[in-house]
Structure 1
Amino acid sequence: MLIGLMATADTHENHYFTDLAKTAKSFNMNVCKFTPENIDRDLKKVRGERFDSEREMWIASSFDIPEFIYDRCFHGLSRQQSETRIKINWLKDHSTFLGLGLPGKWEVYQSLKKHPLLQAFFPETHQVSASEDIIGHLERLNKIIIKPEFGAGGTGIYLLCKNDEGTLVSMTKKGTKYDRQFTSTSQLNKWLQHLLNRYKYLCQPYLELCTLENEPFDLRILLQKNEKNQWMERGRGIRTGQKAGITSNLATGGEAVTLDAFIKKNPETISIAVEQKIQHILRSLPAETEAVFDRLFELGIDLGIDKKGQLWIMDINSKPGRKIIQVLHPETMRDIHRAPFQYSQYLADHLQKAGE
């Protein structure tokens, strides 16, 4: 059985892919890696690299379409219908993807917000297409967050606050917070419209998802399917941001902290009641997300806890990073590396029974 690891660029997730490929040997599976650009639809072939398990190295090669695809492609902040996307969609008809991914944050929000077991955990969210929309929400709420509909890693997130001088816009990049003061509405309008011309944005009220010391934090939980098609929690960790910062993403300068260490320092944050709500979300969310959308293999769920102890679902990622788990729970990486092959085996057996 040939498992294809698909990434946006040749160098993307190289270490992870090599660890996976070494693991494949114990499942008697072969592994190749490629980028969508190198799919040849006419020949039904793919150019990429095949892993030589004897020499433990990647070798340039051309191969038939793999039976199973582990899709780790990231498409940036926009979703234009490019040749790459056309090729990926074609591949979905010619191979079995472990997980079929999720649409944008807005579509996910709209579908799951209606669910009776989950609706209380989603913050008020609006799609904004004109600068007037954003300014309207700012007038109403005084403090708002705007984030790209297809964003990841904390990129492109801005905090807008009304103050005596006008509007203060803040963002975090590589651990540094940048502020820009707009004194006139027309100036702010122009800047916002420039942003909206490039990407689709969502607007939310600013939630105080921070400790009593004013450090922003969130809880990342990594889930994967096992060989029985059951969701398994692989680990969880706290990401803390700079004091008075906006986000706690590791990519924008956040730090990873174990849950125990965090609770010891901030005992007021995660009470028994909060943990019960977390368990409720973990029981309901993966199944409901799959029921509405399509098959998923892994999920990164980001939860926020505000100063009143209210729990919020901030993000649901179908192609989650593993950095926080790798740092805080290295002992679980073996299970993480085995999971794509166990799940491929499940799908192979399952599809065979279904006669596909």
Structure 2
Amino acid sequence: MKNLTLGVMTLYNKKTLDDKNYLRKLSIVGKRMNINVVAFSPLDVLGAHNKVNGHVYDIRSERWRRVKINIPPIVFDRSRFKSTPQFKRTSWFRKKYRNVIFLNKPMAHKWKIHELFASSNKLKKHLPHTILYTKKKDFLNMIAAHPILFFKPVNGTGGRGILCIKKDSPNTFIIEGRNHQRKIIPTKRLSTLRLLELLEIYSNRNKYILQQSIDTKLDNGRVHDYRLLIQKNGAGKWEVTGCAGRIGPVGSVTSNLHGGGTASPYESLLSKWITSETKRKDVKEQMEDIAHACVESVEERFGSNCELAIDIAVDENGNVWLLEINPKPGREIFAKIGDKTTYTLALKRPLEYAQWLYDNQHNP
């Protein structure tokens, strides 16, 4: 039987493909599984010939080379959102090549996802109070209910453009966070008027949500949360692959690894935070229940998917909060904590699922 060729659609960052290190490792694992991995951007598609000028990693030479091949029968979409014409071409590709089997389907932005999860009986109790910011009164109403808020772009990734707003006095607020280049901004104390002006500037660039803050500061003052990865296996079934902790750098209101956060083994971090073994067991069960409820809701609304990362906060009382999801997750967090087994499994599972799809749908 002919080996499967799996296309991985990503974007160019200048002249280099995004996530090239991940693509290299995926190619190496794929070769061991007799799956040929071909990476490409929508810009590489030769539409007149239904071919793609893709990138293939040569293990022997440890170099990438270009190959012109037919559009692969199965495509893994790893193109992360960017407000660029190149990203818009991913939609064009999906519409033009409807016969292609996609491992994952496009999803909506943070606010639409929040609305989806808020309609789920299983998930709504785990959601922080969240609203779409449309006018200044939205902020005034939310800060009256919660003394600390997050101001998040609906399409943001990696902590970009996120502000943490703390009420300092009836008419002043302390602002921390990151700019749109992901850099930590200096802490500011602003009047109500100046803050509302700042929120207008940020929201003119992108839609924003306001979200209740969950207190997750460790004794050292750093925030932390948990990244759980759930994936489909080689039988097309959802399984939790692993979970790891993330600790934000000094002065950061977010824990994202790309923003300077550090990874920590899940059990050791949670045991420092929640001393009761019984409560820790309950937290783990809740996390896994949330993960399965998330993928159930996502597939019901958007169609079949292959993996989802879920960011979860746990407060000091052991309450579990669903912060957000990432449909194009990395898996380096498991390598950073030295969990080679989980890291390898996280690499293999999309390939195993692709093979299962190919065997069961492409060759019924």
Length-normalised TM-score, structure 1:
0.89
Over 3 Å counting, the alpha-carbon distance change for 1:218 and 1:224 in structure 2 is same
**Given that residues 131 and 196 in structure 1 are in contact (C-alpha distance below 8 angstroms), is that contact kept between their aligned partners in structure 2?**
no
What's the CA shift for 1:212? 5.0
Find the residue that maps to 1:75 and give its secondary structure. coil
**Given that residues 240 and 255 in structure 1 are in contact (C-alpha distance below 8 angstroms), is that contact kept between their aligned partners in structure 2?**
yes
1:40-189 equivalence runs, <5 A: 40-52=46-58, 55-76=61-82, 78=83, 83-90=88-95, 93-164=98-169, 166-172=172-178, 176=184, 178-185=186-193, 187-189=194-196
Specify which of 174, 188, 204 is matched with residue 197 of structure 1.
204
1:72-118 Cα shifts (integer Å, max 9, x gaps): 11113x58896424424335524111111421111111112111122
Find the residue that maps to 2:246 and give its secondary structure. strand
Structure 2: any 5+ residue segments left out of the alignment? Answer: none
Equivalent in the alignment of 1:303: 312
Equivalent in the alignment of 2:342: 332
What's the CA shift for 1:298? 0.8
What's the CA shift for 1:121? 0.7
Over 3 Å counting, the alpha-carbon distance change for 1:85 and 1:293 in structure 2 is same
What's the CA shift for 1:135? 3.5
Please give the alpha-carbon distance, in whole angstroms, between the structure 2 residues aligned to 1:219 and 1:160. 22
Equivalent in the alignment of 2:325: 316
Over 3 Å counting, the alpha-carbon distance change for 1:266 and 1:193 in structure 2 is closer
Please give the alpha-carbon distance, in whole angstroms, between the structure 1 residues aligned to 2:145 and 2:272. 35
What's the CA shift for 1:56? 4.9
Identity among equivalent pairs (%)? 25
Stretch of structure 1 that moved more, 306-315 or 261-270: 261-270
Structure 1 letter corresponding to 2:43: E
Over 3 Å counting, the alpha-carbon distance change for 1:94 and 1:56 in structure 2 is farther
Please give the alpha-carbon distance, in whole angstroms, between the structure 2 residues aligned to 1:184 and 1:114. 33
The answer to whether structure 1 residue 343 and structure 2 residue 349 are counterparts is no
Structure 1 letter corresponding to 2:282: A
Find the residue that maps to 1:271 and give its secondary structure. helix
Alpha-carbon RMSD: 2.6
Please give the alpha-carbon distance, in whole angstroms, between the structure 2 residues aligned to 1:313 and 1:89. 30
Find the residue that maps to 1:42 and give its secondary structure. helix
1:283-314 Cα shifts (integer Å, max 9, x gaps): 43322321222111111111101122211001
Stretch of structure 1 that moved more, 30-39 or 313-322: 30-39
The answer to whether structure 1 residue 277 and structure 2 residue 280 are counterparts is no
Find the residue that maps to 2:112 and give its secondary structure. helix
**Given that residues 239 and 257 in structure 1 are in contact (C-alpha distance below 8 angstroms), is that contact kept between their aligned partners in structure 2?**
yes
What's the CA shift for 1:349? 2.3
The answer to whether structure 1 residue 6 and structure 2 residue 25 are counterparts is no
Please give the alpha-carbon distance, in whole angstroms, between the structure 1 residues aligned to 2:63 and 2:352. 22
Stretch of structure 1 that moved more, 59-68 or 244-253: 244-253
Please give the alpha-carbon distance, in whole angstroms, between the structure 2 residues aligned to 1:81 and 1:31. 21
Please give the alpha-carbon distance, in whole angstroms, between the structure 1 residues aligned to 2:273 and 2:87. 47
Count of aligned positions: 352
**Given that residues 100 and 295 in structure 1 are in contact (C-alpha distance below 8 angstroms), is that contact kept between their aligned partners in structure 2?**
yes
Over 3 Å counting, the alpha-carbon distance change for 1:43 and 1:134 in structure 2 is farther
Structure 1: any 5+ residue segments left out of the alignment? Answer: none
Please give the alpha-carbon distance, in whole angstroms, between the structure 2 residues aligned to 1:308 and 1:241. 21
Stretch of structure 1 that moved more, 22-31 or 97-106: 22-31
Length-normalised TM-score, structure 2:
0.87
What's the CA shift for 1:127? 1.0
Find the residue that maps to 1:337 and give its secondary structure. helix
